[in-house]
Amino acid sequence: MNFCSHCGKPVRLTIPADDNHPRYVCTSCGAVHYQNPKVVVGCIPVWEDHILMCRRDIEPRKGLWTLPAGFLENGETTVEGACRETYEETGSRVTDLKPYLLVDIVYIHQIYLLFTARLQARDFHPTLESAEVKLMRQAEIPWDAIAFTVIEKTLQYYFQDRPRNQFRFRIDRIDLKS
């Protein structure tokens, strides 16, 4: 960050009074610019023994498979965001969302909140964000072509929990790989 979004003057990285983290502070108006993690919301859309997966048609990781998920927008709840992202990426609607997995990815400043959900109808289709949208059984999941570690981890937990039909809420983290 180089300039203040309030007055346009230069900012400098410093620890403000009564704080303990470096922040960008305007050299003119004194505005403190907080930078916080981004929240990503999404879900595991389920239809019988299938999961709805999306092959990405956008970067990053274009061409690889994922669950519908994306950044939470201001003014929406996490459930609303997960439903919106599912619709944007699959053209389909979900219901019965239940919190399933929270993953801290500190090194990229993201927090993922994923829900289990029920697909309302088999009306999915490719979208601007997804080149292909497909219901998959566990044996059909393209494990070598999953776009993100957090999605792979989510699917592993889901298939571990599914035989018992007990999807307890989990908290996990992903650290930078060396």
Identify the CATH assignment for 1-35 out of 3.40.50.10320, 2.20.70.10, 3.40.50.150, 3.40.50.300: 2.20.70.10
Using 50 as the pLDDT threshold, list the residues of the chain that sit under it.
Answer: 178
For the chain, what are the domain ranges? Answer: 1-35, 38-173
Closest CA to 117 of 156, 140, 141, 87: 87
Topology given in CATH for the domain delimited by 38-173: Nucleoside Triphosphate Pyrophosphohydrolase (3.90.79)
Supply the pLDDT for residue 177: 63
Task: Please tell me the distance from the alpha carbon of residue 18 to that of residue 161, in angstroms, as a whole number.
Answer: 45
Instruction: Indicate the pTM of the whole model.
Output: 0.90
Supply the pLDDT for residue 176: 81
